[in-house]
Amino acid sequence: MPREGKGSAKDGKHYWLTPPELLEALTKEFDFTFDACPYPRPEDFDGLTAVWGESTYVNPPFSGPTAWVRKAMAESEKGKRVVLVFPIYKWILMLLTHPNFKEVRNLKDVKWCAIEDGTPGRGIGQHIAMFVLDGEQEDFF
């Protein structure tokens, strides 16, 4: 179940496949029955419109992930397992896996206030994530 994806123009390569050992380990763990981004891609195949399997592996193109995320959520709401892989910043994973991690919230597109007069700006056009780390220890006495 390798998948096709964009590479870096600097290296002269344009498509990348999931490393076989990684795909094998994930398939063993999640028992994939469908690959939403197969390589080679069959003619007229569109992973965004196809009905996904009961356990689907998704290694989508790394540009424009929103449509793939929406499809993954919709398929999971049908009771299916979806394993979606996508690059994110290492610091996000550091926060999410920290022992004191408690919560992440979507603050939407915050209209930050100017330091000069406090007026709200237009926002940055991106949602802001709020991460909560809570180091408070439970009292056992």
Per-residue pLDDT of the chain (141 residues; tens, 9 = 90+): 554 444 455 666 666 789 999 999 999 999 999 999 999 999 999 999 999 999 999 999 888 899 999 999 999 999 999 999 999 999 999 999 999 999 999 999 999 999 999 999 999 999 999 999 999 766 655
pLDDT given for residue 141 in this prediction: 53
pLDDT given for residue 124 in this prediction: 93
pTM across the whole model: 0.78
pLDDT given for residue 139 in this prediction: 60
Residue 132 contacts by C-beta under 8 Å, 6 or more apart in sequence? Answer: 101, 102, 103, 104, 105
pLDDT given for residue 67 in this prediction: 97
- The CA distance from 61 to 92, in Å, is 20
Cβ–Cβ under 8 Å, residues 17 and 38: no
pLDDT given for residue 7 in this prediction: 47
- The CA distance from 129 to 119, in Å, is 22
- The CA distance from 80 to 55, in Å, is 6
Nearest-CA neighbor of 84 among 66, 95, 96, 72?
72
